[in-house]
Every structure is written in structure tokens, then in C-alpha cells.
Amino acid sequence: MSTFSKRSIAGLMLLGLMIPALAACGGTPAAQEPIRETVVVVQTSAPEVVKETVVVEQTAAPAEPAAPAANEAFTTPNPILGDLRVRQAIAYCSNRPEMIASVYPFLNEEQQQGLLMDTFLPKAHWAAATTGITTYPFDVEKGKALLEEAGWKDDGNGGRANDAGDVLSLSFTTTNAQFRQTWSAVFIQQMSACGIQVIPTYAPGSWWFGSSTGLQRRDFELGAFAWVGQADPGGQTLYSCNQIPLPSNNWEGQNYMGWCNDAASKAIVAANNTLNRDERIKQYGIVQAEFTKDMVSLPLFNRTEAAAASNRFEGFKPDPTDYYTANADEWTVTDGDTLVLGFTQEPASLWGVVESAAVQRTAAYLLGVPASTSFSYDYQAKGLKALSTIESGAAKNEDIEVKEGDMVWNTAGEAVALAKGVEVVDSTGETVTYDSGTLTMKQLTVTDTFIDGLKWEDGKPLVKADYELAHKITCDPESGNVSLTYCESVATFDVTSDTSYTVTFHPGVQWPTYFAGAGFGAYPAHQVLSDGRTLADVPAKEWSTLPEIAEKPMSDGPYILESWDKGQSMTFTANPNYYKGEPAVKKIVIKFIADTNQAVAQLLTGELDALGTETLGAGAEVQTVLDAAAKGDVQAYTIASPTWEHIDMNLFVK
């Protein structure tokens, strides 16, 4: 089974599993981070739209298109965070350079300053706004003044209260990763200096990033985690009005703040619905301006990551925008035939549809052939014969006429029947409101053609039924997929041969990374399960609990999962039916070591051969590795990570 690339993009599928692009790092994952948790917020799916500042200030609920029923959960503004002045005060009271220094003491001051973020994009990103944004330099007095203005008066004892006697106190939830505990302790002290009491909870990553707990159920006031940046900014599932998880939408979406700003929502959809980079820069600028003005999420800093390997390991290729196991089929060793990798977090499942941690992706890469890889902020064909570009003739973006009743993609990032009043983007890139008659829109069609010779571990070739099954399950609402936006953007999915399929999107859909793999992966439809059924016969709602999916998926990649000793290790053996031939390294063992310092110690004693960025990260233990590398004992790499820490502010209460 396959998965998504590390910095996966909307719609990018590896031959087998879908991996969202959201990465929340912490004690474990990564959007992509270091075992730290990484919620890969991959972006997992499609463009979006928002409305102008209807952010939960003092209004009863977010504005359409995502306004929930008034009597449902999360329609009551948070009595503290519902006030923009309080949110801005938190930003001004935050000394972010001090937080950076607490976790990266081995970086000099200039390097530390270079990690600061003002928006949801790193300053060096091609889509980062340079004008029109609101910045929040450290200013305690300004923060205190805003709190006073909001009615939170100094109580004379270092705290604050309002006229009703309510104490200015907020809960703060994050993972139990030491990295996050370190910088958050500094944050909590800074809030105290402004009179804001912050009560922390350091939760296991499995709960914080669970599919039915923590973030996904918006069970927090202030919530800290990390998103994984990527060459394509994506963002629709993060900032669109219609991506706010609610009971009424089965908790779909990753807009955990509950932020509904119409201008930003429309712009994020527009940015993800055009293939023109200049227009995308313009639309992302609008989103960043609204995002910083409303201060619904405080960007802190980009992470610095490090990776290390033993000197016997050849081919180790850590990269900021793809997982280091992406080239596992090229690895060699100078002695023996086994490599031992260290993870400080264990995957909850190997099924990328329901598990989005970096460790899941790192392990799953051993079991699948991605349609493409994304090394160094760019894309390279792997499972595909070539990237499916318009220039190559593998894709086309044609002008077509649509009329009332036709299914189109509206500016809210939804598939709807064209009718009077529906707002869409026409073929010229203009946003128009349909009235009657015909309208010209863009329709994107992509044909993906895969390399010959792809086989499952049992020697059976990948066939049409495998791709059809992947599409069926991934797009079934009962599969557990947290976002069906990408699926809903597809008008038709036609598997034309055992190595090729064509995806036709609804008019108006303009996925910017359409060329990197527009399909849904593949699942072994012929596989016979332990209960006698074939995989193709199992309802989607059962897939997340199938051992053959979650714990021992059939591989079409360089390795086969031989065993998984929960809490201890996973053992992979070379796949004799891999399309390139059996890999040179015959066995790969992933050991689970809860403590990063212990993992580093085992690397230095030769018990481990590699610690990737999802495990080593950039804590104080990096200095130990760097010192060892300076003496020639190991290989060590420091990487400017696209992963960025931030604090979300939940605008509503249950």
C-alpha cells in the first residue's frame, strides 16, 4: 500500500494510501513533526473560501457558508478568546525569540531570528506576504493595555479579572513532547507577566491527534501543535469556513479555530483554484492579511530539524520536503545487510486515511511506491512514468460551456448544481455570480500513467480493480477520511488500463499540483483476508479496524512488513517482487525508543543506524550528535524545516 509524500499536496496520492498534508509535530508526528507529533495536514484535499471577518468576535456563530445551527455545539463564542483584543494581547505578550532560544540554544541569534514567522508561511516562501499583514512584535505594555480595554483589570496580585469577578484564565493543551514542554513553559511565564493565567495539559500524541479526540473534536482553548509547510501552500482545509469540524458535519475539516472570515475563505479557495502563480500570490496575500488581523492562530517559529546516521549507512538522504525513507530502495550498507532505524513514536495505524503522523508516513514509504516524490520543494516522478503536466500532453485545462443544472465547483470549494446565485470562477479567472444561460469555465483533466512492472508482494501485478477499489474506499464517507473535498472535486474517475487512469474534475477545479499524481492510490482488491473475504468485499466502515490494512498492509514497495511487535519494533524484509528488484539492504528494523536521548545514545553506540527528523528533531540532544559528527563518529545533518509551531485559539466553546 502506498501513502503520500512528506509534504503532500492536495490530491497527491501514492500508489496505495492517501496521506493528508497536515502535520502536527510534537512529541511525535510531523506535517508533517519529529516524532514528535506531526499532524500532517497535507493538505489533504481541496481549495476553499471564507467570509470576511465574521470571526467569532461577539457574534453568536460563524457566518455562512459554514454557520452551524444555533443550538448545536460550538456556536457559543469563547467568553475570553471571542474578544479580538484578548487574542491580540496574547500575541503582543509573546516573546517568540525567547521561546526559540529555549529550544535551539545551539543556534546563534541570527539563525534564531531567521526562524520567526509572522503568517502561516515562512518568510522565504514564494507565496509569503511582504505587505498588508499585521505583525505583533513583543510589547508587554501594549498587550496589557489591550487587556485593560477588554475589561480584564489588574487584580493587584499578578493576575486579572473582569467586573463579574471572573479570572482571566485559559487552558493550554499540547503534547507531552519535551520540545514543546520546553518552549511552552516560557510562553506560560510570558502570559503570566501580562496577567493571563495559563493552565497546561501535556497530552499523549495519540489523544491530541486522534481521529475522534483532541484537536479533531476541538477539545481545547489554546492548542499548540505544528503544521508542515510545503512547496505548495494549500490551506483550504485549514482556513475555509466550510472546513470547521462540527458534530453536524461529522467533524470534517481542519479549521480547528472555528474561524470564518469571508474574505479569507474566498481567497484561500481562489488561491487553490488557479494554476497561475501570480494570481495565487495575490490571493494568499489576502488570506495572510485577514489571518494576522484576526489573530486566530499565533505563528511562532519554523523548526530546525536534524537527522543522523551511522557511518555504515550509505544513501541516507534527509530532506526538508520529503521523508528520508523515500529512497529506501537505494540504500546500502558497508557491512552486513540490516539497518536499524529509531522512532520515538509508534504509528497508531499504517492506513494513511485515518493516521497522519510523520512516523506513519516514514514507515509506510517502505511499503509503497509514491506516484511522485517531493525532494527539495519540487516534484519528481517515481511511480508515474512522468509528471502528468499540461506541457507533456498528459493533462489538459480546457474552456467548456456550462449551463443551469450542471455540476460545477463553486467559490466555496464545493461541488454544486449551477443555479441562479451560485458564485464560481469563470475561464478568465474572474469571480462571477451565475444568473442564467451559459457560462465558460475551466475544466481540468489529468491522465496518470504508471511505470510497468508494479507488483504486490505476492507477485500479483497491480490492475484496474486495485485503482478502482482505492477510489471507492477513499471517497466513501464511512471510511473515516477526515476530508472528502478532493473526492468531491472529481467529476469522473476512469481506469483505462492496468497502468493508467484519467481524472476529470468538475468545471472550476484548478488543483495547482495536479501533475504530481491525481489518483487515489491502489489497494490489492484480490487479497484474501483472515476471515475468508476478499478486500474488495469489505465495507468502507470496517477498513480502519482491518489488521490487513492498519497493521500489515500488502506492499507494492521495496519492503514487506514481516512483523510488528507493538511497543517494541517493526521488522521489514526486502520484497523479492519489487519492480526494481530486491533491494540491497535485506532487512530494516524500526525500534521504538520513547526517549530521544536514549535513541541518540543508541545511535552513538551503534545499536541504531538512523534517526530521522521525525525522531531526532532539534532538541538539546542535537548538540550531542553534532559533536559526535565533528569527530567523525556519525553522519549528522541540520535542516531548515518547513514545519512551524503555532498556537490555535478556539473561538467557540462547547
The pLDDT assigned to 70 comes to: 53
Per residue in 546-580, pLDDT (tens digit) is 999 999 999 999 999 999 999 999 999 999 999 99
Average pLDDT, the chain: 87
> Which has the minimum average pLDDT: 217-221, 448-452, 515-519, 560-564?
515-519
The pLDDT assigned to 580 comes to: 96
Better-predicted residue by pLDDT, 52 or 41: 41
Amino acid in position 296 = V
Strands annotated E in 124-196 = 153-154, 160-161, 169-175
3-state secondary structure labels for all residues of 593-630: CCCHHHHHHHHHCCCCCEECHHHHCCCCHHHHHHHHHH
pTM above threshold 0.85: no
What's the CA gap between 80 and 162, in Å, rounded? 10
pLDDT reading at 115 higher than 90: no
What's the CA gap between 186 and 618, in Å, rounded? 17
Mean pLDDT across 365-393:
91
Residue with cell 508516513: 361
Beta carbons of 223 and 453 less than 8 angstroms apart: no
What's the CA gap between 509 and 146, in Å, rounded? 42
The pLDDT assigned to 619 comes to: 67
Q: Among 261, 235, 208, which residue's Cα sits nearest to residue 41?
A: 235
Per residue in 177-233, pLDDT (tens digit) is 998 999 999 999 999 999 999 999 999 999 999 989 999 999 999 999 999 888 788
> Which has the minimum average pLDDT: 21-30, 449-458, 515-524, 587-596?
21-30
